[in-house]
Amino acid sequence: MKRTFGALALLFIFGTLLVVASPQHGLKFGLGGNNWKNYRYTDQYYIDHGVQEVGGMNIVTDIVFDYRGYDTIGEATVLFTAIAGAVALLRPWRRDEE
Amino acid sequence: MSDMGLIVKTTARATIPLIGIFGSYIVAHGHLTPGGGFQGGATIAGAGILFLLAFGLNEMRKHYNHHVYSSLEGLGGLAFLGVSMLGFSVAFFYNKLWHSGPFFNGKPGTLLSAGYLPIMNLAVGLKVFTGLVSAMAAIALYRRWRE
C-alpha cells in the first residue's frame, strides 16, 4: 500500500514537472511578451551569432569559454581541488614511516 | 612497479610522441575543430600515463618533478583567469581581443583568430595535462601496499 502510494506520488510529480516545463503551457520565463522563447531558448542565438561575437568556428568552444565562462572556471577549480585532495590524502604521513 | 617488458616498451616508445602530437593538435585547433583544452590535455596526459605504465615507477621518478608540474598547473589556471579579465572594461569573459585587439583578430576559420580562445585553450590544456599526470603520479608514488 505504502509503495503503491509512493509510486503514484512520484508519477504525479513527474507529470506536473512535464506540464510545467512544456513550452506550450506552463511557466514562461524571461521578460514577458511574445518573444519570450528567444529569451528562454538561446541555442539558435548561439548558432547565429557565435562566430560574429566570439570568433571561433567551433561553437562549443565559443559557448564554453565565452558565454558560459563561469562554468569553465568552476570546472577548473573542481579539477584543481580533486588533485589537491588526492595528493593531500595519499602523501606519506608520519606514522606510516615505521 | 616494474616495467612491462620489451614489446610494450618498444610500442610505447613509438606511440608516445604521436599521442603527444595529436593532443597538441587538438589543443591548438580548439577554436576551429571539435575538441579543445580539456580533451587535448587529457589526450597528452594519456601519453604520460602510458609512459608511467610501460616504463615503470623508477623511470618515472627520474623524469617527473613535482614542483615543475604543480607550478605549471598553477600557471595554466592563472593564465586562464588573467586572459578572462582582459575585457574587464565591458564584462568578465568578454572577448576584447577579438573585437578590438592587436593580435588574434584574423578571419574566422584561420589559426590566428578568435581572440582569447586559443590562449584559453592552451592554458586549460596545460592545466589538465599537468593535473592528470600529477594525480596519476601521486597515486603511483604514495601507495601503501607492498610489492
Which domain covers residue B83, as residue numbers?
6-141
Query: Considering only CB atoms, which chain B residues are within 8 Å of A78?
Result: none
Q: Is residue B15 part of a domain?
A: yes
Per-residue pLDDT at B69:
86
B31 → closest Cβ in A58, A91, A92 = A58
Are A87 and B36 within 8 A, CB to CB? no
Q: Cα distance from A81 to chain B (closest Cα, Å)?
A: 10
Per-residue pLDDT at A9:
95
| Cross-strand bridge partners of residue B110 | B108
pLDDT digits (tens, 9 = 90+) for B29-45: 888 888 888 889 999 99
For the residues A75-93, what does the mean pLDDT come to? Answer: 82
Which amino acid is it at B8? V
Q: Is residue B83 part of a domain?
A: yes
* CB-based contacts of B140, cutoff 8 Å, min separation 6: B1, B52, B57, B60
Q: What's the pLDDT band for A13 if we cut at 50, 70, 90?
A: very high
Whether chain B has a CB inside 8 Å of the CB on A54: the answer is yes
pLDDT digits (tens, 9 = 90+) for B73-117: 889 888 888 888 887 777 777 777 777 777 777 777 777 777 788
Q: Is residue B146 part of a domain?
A: no
Q: Is residue B62 part of a domain?
A: yes
Q: To the nearest 10°, report the CA torsion of B85, B86, B90, B92.
A: -20
Cell of B127: 592545466
Q: Cα distance from B18 to chain A (closest Cα, Å)?
A: 24
Do the beta carbons of residue B25 and residue B116 sit within 8 Å?
A: no
Q: Is residue B147 part of a domain?
A: no
How far apart (Å, rounded) are the C-alpha atoms in residues A84 and A37?
Answer: 43
For the residues A4-16, what does the mean pLDDT come to? Answer: 94
- Our count of domains for chain B comes to 1
Are A76 and B127 within 8 A, CB to CB? yes
Q: Is residue B96 part of a domain?
A: yes
Cell of B95: 572577448
Q: To the nearest 10°, report the CA torsion of B15, B20, B25, B31.
A: 130
Q: What's the pLDDT band for B18 if we cut at 50, 70, 90?
A: very high
Q: Complex ipTM, two decimals?
A: 0.73
Domain residue spans of chain A: 1-29
Per-residue pLDDT at B44:
92
Is it the case that residue A56 has pLDDT exceeding 70?
A: yes
Per-residue pLDDT at A79:
85
Per-residue pLDDT at A31:
60
Per-residue pLDDT at A28:
64
Are B93 and A65 within 8 A, CB to CB? yes
Q: Phi-psi bin for A29: left (phi > 0), alpha (psi -120 to 50), beta?
A: beta
Q: Is residue B110 part of a domain?
A: yes
Per-residue pLDDT at A66:
82
Query: Considering only CB atoms, which chain A residues are within 8 Å of B73?
Result: 80, 83
B124 → closest Cβ in A54, A56, A76 = A76
B95 → closest Cβ in A58, A66, A79 = A66
Residue whose cell numbers read 516545463: A21
Q: What's the pLDDT band for B9 if we cut at 50, 70, 90?
A: confident
